[in-house]
A and B are shown apart, each in its own frame.
Chain A
Amino acid sequence: MESVQAPSDRPAAGKHAHEIVESPAFRTLVRKRWSVSVLMLALLFLSYYGFILLIAADRELVSRKVGAVTTLAIPLGIAAILAAWILTGVYVWWANRKYDPEVERLKGLLRK
């Protein structure tokens, strides 16, 4: 390991680095990455803040029984936790299938 690097001695990637960064393929990759992230984040907000705001807005509704004593709020709480995990899983699934192969392809171009 070397000592802490100053920004100037980052590994120089030469002309190819600029070409890659400016290429349509790279731009598409970055745009897609953030589109997926923002979509996932929106779904997370919908599930989590939707859950909280529903409780705040309509206590009658969530206190309604769905079983002998079980209230609607209980399955909703479980769903809010499961949703967080499922969204994380979907992102990883997308990144492994779509993002990583494109990253490898672009990195391959760089080494030429």
Chain B
Amino acid sequence: MVPVLAAGALTSLGKPTVASVGFFFAIVALTLVITYFAARKTRTSSEYYAAGRSVSAGQNGLALAGDYMSAASFLGIAGMVALQGYDGMIYAAGWLAGWPALMFLVAEPLRNLGKFTFADVVAFRLRQTPVRIAAAVGGIATVLFYTIAQMVGSGSLVHLMFGIPYKYAELIVGVVMLAYVLFGGMLATTWVQIIKAVLLLIGVTILTLLVLFRFGFDATNLYAAVSQRYGQAMLQPGGLVSSPVEAISLGLALMFGLLGLPHILMRFYTVPDAKAARKSVLYATGLIGYFYLIIPIVGFGAAALVGKDVITGVDRSGNMAAPLVAELLAGPAFLGFIAAVAFATILAVVAGLTLAGASAYSHDIYVSVLRGGRATEEEQVRAARAATVVFGIAAVLLGIAFEGQNVAFMVGLAFSIAASANFPALLLSVVWRRFTTLGAVWSIVTGAVLSVVMIFLSPTVWGEVLGHLDAAGKPHGIIPLKNPAIVSMTAAFAVGILVSLLTDEPKAQEAFEEEKLRTYLGVGAE
């Protein structure tokens, strides 16, 4: 028989232990030392936003993986597999599917055409002011909703793992993250991501090996133990993909949302050229794919060894499945390491989001629109730092304001806006000669407004959050879809194309020919 943790009795989870606090301070100390050195190399706007384009393909691959592998995906998917079984694997596969699409459609043209933000590409040959404002609003909305979800999630995770009160957890995340971004800019943020990605991959790999070791390094023994304890249903698809339309819509949001996430797109400007951008996507896809392949083993291991009742006894959502199985298999010291890595993961992801949010305001709105593109280096960096502070403080305040609220839908909202407002305009501006300023603006507005309105009226917000139930007591939405992408993204493309065909912009069409040399050959790329 396998040993089972007694609920609450054996776990040191929720108390700050010497190991967890020690590992946490070691990681923060290391990243702050790196920030100190990065700060000395961060003077110009190109250094602040894009690490002076000095990041190698391998480093950027790790940093991209770091930006994408959030604490929510590490703890959340392990927990989902532990409690619901196979459905967690379907979900994990969806999170990877966007990466190849990012490569095929966006990565190289984005690197060649842009400077600091994805709005650079959309506005490249169109009228600067309207396009910049629309793209920046789409970008900031995406980053803001994603940040709120991350901050609220991180406050409760840190509370669960370290026992620190929620508000202090928010403050610690805010202060440390601001130190990275404010002083060290993109270079420090990149290195924080790299360190976090390496630690996370090492931690999850050790955890996977420990689980497999218990089952004679044969995953089928693990499945057998899960099946014996909780039934064969754990290894079969459950309710996640009950409606094909819903499944496709979720798939579209996850896949094309990635292609509109400002903090991911921004990373492509940190590498020297399109070739390095391309390679970095391959590395990132490999690392993230590996991560999602092994996470289910951790989740199944937690179900078989720790047990669902103990996992839900600590946290109903199952988020503590991975930390609990870590402690069971390797003791409180390893739990401390995993908890510290999860904390570092939160810091790194919020840092990346803050830099992206700040750049959308300072580069796209302040420098390009308010100053008409005429700002000195010094003014640009000062504006970037000011926007960083404002965004960081807003993140902490919003995190505190939404304490205890159900904000899981905000991740879906961020991905939906990214897929519907940011991605169609970005793609059309690269591939379509006839795309016009008004086409771009209306496409972005359509995608963003439809995403917000449809999610507000969905079963998730209208039903669960606002408490409208149908006759059977289930959450009810005015619009039956949980994920609007299938409608909102299609509408954004349709509106973008239609409005462009109704308007004429000869200058933009002329510039398209000129732009091609830069898009495909990288001639004149920054």
Interface of chain A: mostly helix, strand, loop or mixed: helix
**A44 contacts B97, CB within 8 Å?**
yes
B235 adjacent to A55 (CB under 8 Å): no
A51 CB to closest chain B CB, in angstroms?
A: 7
Contact flags B483-526 to A (C-beta < 8 A → 1, else 0): 00000000000000000000000000001011011101111100
Instruction: Output the residue of A18, A37, A52 with the most chain B CB within 10 A.
Output: A52
Across the interface, A3 reaches (CB within 8 A) one of B104, B251, B374, B516, namely B374
Assembled-state Cα–Cα distance A52/B220 (Å): 23
Chain B residues whose C-beta falls within 8 Å of the C-beta of A67 in the assembled complex = 220, 223
| Chain B facing A: main interface SS | helix
Evaluate contact between B293 and A89: CB separation under 8 angstroms. Answer: no
Instruction: Indicate if the CB atoms of A81 and B244 lie closer than 8 Å.
Output: no
Q: Which of B236, B293, B513 contacts A78 (CB 8 A)?
A: B293
In residues 88-112 of chain B, which contact A (Cβ within 8 Å)?
89-90, 92-94, 96-97, 99-101, 103-105
B223 CB contacts on chain A under 8 angstroms: 67, 69-70, 74
A89 contacts which of B224, B236, B247, B282 (Cβ < 8 Å)? B282
Min CB gap B30→A, angstroms: 30
**Whole-angstrom distance from the CB of B378 to the nearest CB of chain A?**
11
Tell me if B167 counts as interface (CB < 8 A to partner A).
no
Q: Which of A1, A20, A49 has the most CB of B within 10 A?
A: A1
Cα-based distance from A21 to B433 in the complex (angstroms)? 14
Q: How far is the CA of A104 from the CA of B103 in the complex (A)?
A: 20
Bound Cα distance from A109 to B275, whole angstroms: 20
A1-B44, A44-B101 are known contacts. Are A69 and B292 too (CB-CB below 8 A)?
no
Q: Taking CB as reference atom, which chain B residue is nearest A83?
A: B100
Q: Which residues of A contact B293 (CB under 8 A)?
A: 78, 81
Complex interface residues of chain B between 128 and 179 (CB less than 8 A to chain A): 128
Tell me whether B406 is interfacial, beta carbon within 8 Å: no
Is the interface on chain B under 10, 10 to 19, 20 to 34, or 35 or more residues? 35 or more
Complex CA distance for A82 and B285, rounded to whole angstroms: 10
**Cβ–Cβ contact A74 & B105, under 8 A:** no
Query: Does residue B7 face the partner (Cβ distance < 8 Å to A)?
Result: no
A61 to B: closest C-beta gap in Å: 10
Closest Cβ–Cβ distance, residue B338 to chain A (whole Å): 23
Distance in angstroms between the alpha carbons of A80 and B237 in the assembled complex = 15
Size class of the contact patch on chain A? 35 or more
Mark A31-48 against chain B: 1 for CB-CB distance below 8 A, else 0: 001100110110010001
0/1 string, A52-69, CB within 8 A of B gives 1: 110111010011000111
A92: B residues at CB distance < 8 A: 103, 278-279, 281-282
The answer to whether B374 touches A52 (Cβ under 8 A) is no
Which residues of B sit under 8 angstroms from A62, Cβ to Cβ? 236-237
Across the interface, which residues of A come within 8 angstroms of B243, CB to CB? 56
Report the separation of the CA atoms of residues A11 and B112 in the bound assembly, to the nearest whole angstrom. 13
B89: min CB distance to chain A, Å: 4
**In the complex, which of the residues A34, A44, A88 has the most CB atoms of chain B within 10 Å of its own CB atom?**
A88
Q: Is B29 an interface residue (CB 8 A)?
A: no
Given the interface pairs A73-B86, A81-B293, the reply to whether A59 lies near B251 with Cβ below 8 Å is no
Extra inter-chain contacts (14) besides given A3-B374, A69-B232, A84-B96, CB under 8 Å: A20-B517, A30-B516, A30-B520, A44-B101, A55-B241, A63-B236, A69-B223, A73-B235, A77-B93, A81-B292, A88-B281, A91-B100, A92-B103, A106-B521
